[in-house]
Structure 1
């Protein structure tokens, strides 16, 4: 008798792709009652020892199946003291919209010999896998459970994963379960405490949910910390020596090696020495090749930062559009920490798919005809998903204006990764003037290479320096002692905030945009456009959506998502709309309040959450 194997993927698109690879052809799907996108694929496959030739049913979930909730008597806000929620009983609940998925798994597992889990190979995937296992074992306690380890859906990689399954990582799954329970208890108790205590203090607070989240508050803390750095900044006067020399009709500005001094008397003495010397001596002339490195493969964090900086959208909007492009099959899964491509992926074939595009097709053709270079490898590999890249070529008429922006960025980034570094020569002239060292540099870009397809990086030739020779002397045309003053830092922009969150382990690539949206929704911060943003390089005058939204279940994301704010415009000369965050009075008061409590580690700082994120 042929054994039956049940395979369950984390997302419908993965289930479809894996089924087609294992079957060797397109597998017809049967619909599952209750959810229009839920499908079962049935085919035969030889797994090798110990299962051999098997009958396979492939299906999927859409992220987490259940959620953690307090028992009924603790759910009303006034039902208990907020502190009692730390000990209140909790249980896992499968929502009504997920129950058809659970029934399908139980029904298919009842007569299966083994369960193969095809969730993402990261912590969240391990926990989702444990939820699938629990349902399957409720229907069939004797079912054997394995998981496939895979990081992309190339056919050879999928076949290898199917024939070399491993066990679920219980430590990873338990770590996620612990984080979910901590987020629920801490978030619910502190949110109730804050809201019930602060609402009576003023009309402005009436009706507001004053929420607390273990990721939400450190995110707010970064904004408030920068705000106070700006407000408390006191400019200091400094002095610098400027030296200018004109030769061959060109004005050369030499930069003082000390940059500037805060002691006026010391700067004046050094300046007088320069004037007394009268002549400057060229001590070094050096011309050497230099490169501007092509970018690393694209990660989620980098997509959010670059999108906020160049595409005129906030990070949540960028991710929403990227998820839509993924759902339509246009780009790879947009939530990944990996910045290195697996050798099994045929990158040249992906370049070939872009050859007919009117904007970058000629460049892609050049890569295919000998210009292709293996992308640089970063230091991160979550072994769950490859870097974000285009899957197929999409014509402009199939995309909305915002989709075109994001898709174009993903394509151009991918082509740039597969290109040669930009190359140039840099000439540096170093001179001694009254015992002080001054220098000037000139860059000549010889080969633009990846810059031709990636306008988001700038590297331009400067005015070429006139000819200087080591040992020669000249009289400067101008020498001045110039007074200046230090300037305050700017308020936090979204790319800066995302970088701080990433460096401090606040949120994941899947949730950072949601935490930022949440502090805006709660009116803890206000957003304003920073003037003078970079110029946009712009040519313009549903199945998996649930999975991408449900992978994280911290307290700050349980209660819904904040409203996104769209950037806009299509003019080539439009500014990017780079946003900066200003904390509201409420946001400042909350952070100062927690800082003034006097805990050894403030709840508004990232340190506690960072420690939790490393729990195993």
Structure 2
């Protein structure tokens, strides 16, 4: 009897299945492993092992060769996981393996991962589907007894394949076309990219920045009063009791006055007057605990609390899952657990008895909080993966940053089981001189889940003393506060993630908005990559977005692209409606109510329409006359052309625009051609060490290549100013000079030469003063220094020391 190969999506699931079924032996081939017993073999992917490829012929920015419509689409291995794919192909091809079981995640992408592996193996062996929405041993065993047929999953696969191919068509083609158009217009190479998710995400950022740039503030005034009562004092702000919110005037508020004279008149009339009535309305308010984390919610929380980028949080959560095994799978869109996970949750709560929140975990168990609750345990809210929660593994040897993410998840998990937080909320209306002032406050009557975050019962949100019946508090201090309306805030990664997740609010069509509900644009697993892609820059691509502190600021490149797409009939690539339309049809396809052929025909037609729009613009635009430098070629006196990738002359002289990851500007190239050497240039990156360095570029005597020259002692980049030497190099005895913020031996050679001693001007986010640098030169040790910051954001103090290998390191007080 042959064996069945079970293909999971990741190692942890393969191990879970092996444990649940029992009797497996771990096998290895080099660093690759799988599990095996008499009737089953278990292995896995590592997410996607195969993807749609771009051939060399397709990799073009020539608009006349677009669009690219592969038929068929060519699948290529993902290079970084090639070894795992090769193992799977070998296992699939074994003669004793007569069938397969797809145990990849229960959803569209899990189906696609397996089918692409199956296609790469060129297998014709039969396969079945293990559909798991819970990873308990019992759920796995039950699932193995109820395998689904390949035919049952065909429509799900067709929807998954359509999504994959459509994203390729609507991503690669517009990206190549936009880059080709820009290169034609400017003669410069700067990759322009877009797609179903990136395009609308960029538009969200650009539209917000446009509102900020065009915002005109309005002046308004508020009247604030302090009332004296027998039990103390309380504050209130004037309101218009007749105010009704008007959606057409987003600046209107009940407490805002648009006339300074009226505000002054109210203040003057109320100042020192006795109130005529005080009315309190007190009602109980309950606030339920937050839902468990999905990845997007975790990324938002970590960005808001710690300033972590979405990618940083994903990487940390992935390490906590893969390396430390203290969190469940992080790339999830779900905020719920499987309905059969109650006992597992109790076990996790018990395991948290050694965590920083141990007392709250114990209280949850002792008080019987860990019970079935639909808002926590709900199969209908789970697609591929359940919420991120701690595992049974104790957390040890975590970095500061990893500990922060782990503690966020632990607290959220514990808090989710606690009862609602309860408050007594009071709104007080005080009438004085015919005007109404509003005060509000609340008292925590039951901390509930907020106790996990440090809230205590009896805690008050605002200081509002009691007023006795019949008492008439006096308006003692009444002041006018001048204010102005504020522009909307720029997006941070936290708020952008929220906008991507809830992108349906940007869509007017109700059907499309419904299709986006609960999904948004991108997925929890891909949103961080989309944001990083907008921020990314290298020699061939300028960024679309810059980080300024925690804010995301679009560049002019971003504005130009969004404006171009909207003005040239390609607005679909700037709106979440495209995803909404796809999702609506793909869900119908999964249900067998929409044909794959029809969907792909529509995508191909739309791709051709988009490319035709961009091509028409390109053909209507004269190709940029190749610009030339004003300075002639130093070799033949001919014109030096400014090509997309180089400065070149017909005589053969050619200088790359990018040298050691530094872009050479036209102004700098002019100087180089004129003087046969450049000024002092910063920002080169050593191919040997990866460190940045400063140098002068100069032509060789034969004018056939460029060479690096160390700047004269003390020369400062770009200014011609000099800085004094700071001491002797401890490695070779030459002089140390400051260049920019850093300190180099004068015999330093950037690409690796006579002396490589350097002291970086900033260490652990602390800027070094010249006095500190001198101490490192001689005697080689500083006094105790404060103000260093660890990678996890923690401040610390230490001595800096020069080690025997001439590296700079830390020593700490014993």
Q: 1:425 to 1:105 in 2, by over 3 A?
A: same
2:35 maps to which residue? 41
Residue 351 of structure 1 pairs with residue 349 of structure 2: yes
Say if 2:566 is the partner of 1:595.
Answer: yes
> Equivalent of 2:28, from 31, 34, 44?
31
- Which of the two has higher C-alpha Rg? 2
Task: Confirm or deny: 8 A CA contact 1:280 1:433 kept in the other structure.
Answer: yes
**Post-superposition shift, 1:497?**
0.5
Find out whether 1:486 has 2:485 as its counterpart: yes
> Which residue in the other structure is 1:331 paired with?
327
Q: Deviations over 1:231-272 (max 9, x none)?
A: 111111223333320224633111333333454289459838
User: Which residue pairs with 2:202 in the alignment?
Assistant: 220
Alignment of 1:104-503 (within 5 A): 104-108=90-94, 110-134=95-119, 138-141=122-125, 143=126, 145-167=127-149, 168-199=152-183, 205-206=188-189, 208-248=190-230, 250-258=232-240, 259-264=254-259, 267=262, 271=266, 275=270, 278-328=273-323, 329-345=325-341, 346-357=344-355, 359-370=356-367, 372-374=369-371, 377=375, 381-396=381-396, 398-454=397-453, 461-469=460-468, 472-503=471-502
Are the aligned partners of 2:311 and 2:528 in contact in 1 as well (CA < 8 Å)? yes
Cα distance change of structure 1 residues 275 and 7 upon mapping to structure 2, 3 Å threshold? same
1:506 equivalent in alignment to 2:506: no
Provide, for residues 488-540 of structure 1, a one-character-per-residue CA deviation record: whole Å limited to 9, x for no partner: 111111111001111122211110000000000041111011xxxxxxxxxxx
In structure 1, the partner of 2:658 is none
Query: 2:264, 2:480 within 8 Å by CA — same for their partners in 1?
Result: no
CA–CA distance in 1 between the matches of 2:527 and 2:578?
A: 17
The structure 2 residue matched to 1:100, chosen from 86, 104, 107, is: 86
1:254 touches 1:440 (CA, 8 Å); kept in 2? Answer: yes
Query: In structure 2, how many angstroms separate the alpha carbons of the residues matched to 1:457 and 1:57?
Result: 54
1:267/1:459 Cα in 2 relative to 1: closer, same or farther (>3 Å)? farther
Which residue in the other structure is 2:792 paired with? none
Report if aligned partners of 2:227, 2:234 keep a CA contact under 8 Å in 1.
yes
- Deviation for aligned residue 1:372: 2.6
Asked whether the 8 Å contact 1:121–1:382 carries over to 2, the reply is: no
Cα separation, 2, equivalents of 1:237 and 1:317: 41
Q: 1:106·1:135 contact (CA, 8 Å) conserved in 2?
A: no
The Cα of 1:63 is off from its aligned counterpart by 2.1
The 3-state SS of whatever aligns with 1:81 is helix
Q: Deviations over 1:173-218 (max 9, x none)?
A: 2222222222222222222222233246558x54x32222221121
CA–CA distance in structure 2, aligned partners of residues 407 and 263 of structure 1: 49
Hey, what's the Cα distance between the residues in 2 that align with 1:327 and 1:615?
Answer: 36
Q: Is the deviation greater in 126-135 or in 414-423?
A: 126-135
Q: Name the SS of the counterpart of 2:234 in structure 1.
A: strand
Which residue matches 1:91? 74
TM-score w.r.t. the length of structure 2 is 0.61
Distance 1:580 1:460, change over 3 A: farther
Q: Judge conservation of contact 1:82–1:192 (CA < 8 Å) in 2.
A: no
Give 1:480 shift. 4.1
Instruction: Choose 119-128 or 97-106, whichever is displaced more.
Output: 97-106
CA–CA distance in 1 between the matches of 2:575 and 2:385? 30
Measure the CA separation in 2 of the matches of 1:4 and 1:606: 46
Contact 2:444 2:457 in 1 (8 A): no
Structural RMSD (CA): 3.1
Do the aligned partners of 1:336 and 1:382 also contact (CA within 8 Å) in 2?
no
Bigger shift: residues 385-394 or 251-260: 251-260
The equivalent of 2:623 in structure 1 is none
Task: Give the SS at the match of 1:443.
Answer: strand
Q: Which residue of 2 aligns with 1:58?
A: 42
Partner of 2:544: 524
What corresponds to 1:557 in structure 2?
none
Aligned-pair distance for 1:458? 13
Q: Distance in 1 between matches of 2:527 and 2:458?
A: 30
Q: Deviations over 1:220-240 (max 9, x none)?
A: 111111111111111112233
For residues 223 and 259 of structure 2, the distance between their equivalents in structure 1, rounded to whole angstroms, comes to 11
> 1:527 touches 1:581 (CA, 8 Å); kept in 2?
yes
Tell me the distance in 2 between the aligned counterparts of 1:272 and 1:17: 70
Tell me if structure 2 keeps the 8 A contact 1:371–1:419: no
Give yes or no for contact 2:195–2:573 (8 Å, CA) kept in 1.
no
Q: Residue 371 of structure 1 contacts residue 420 of structure 1 at CA under 8 Å; is this kept in 2?
A: no
Alpha-carbon contact 1:491-1:581 (below 8 Å) kept = yes
In 1, the alpha carbon distance for the partners of 2:374 and 2:453 equals 16
> Structure 2, unaligned stretches of length 5 or more?
241-253, 504-519, 538-542, 587-814
Q: What is the distance in 1 between the residues matched to 2:28 and 2:426?
A: 67
Count the aligned residue pairs: 541
Residue matched to 2:653: none
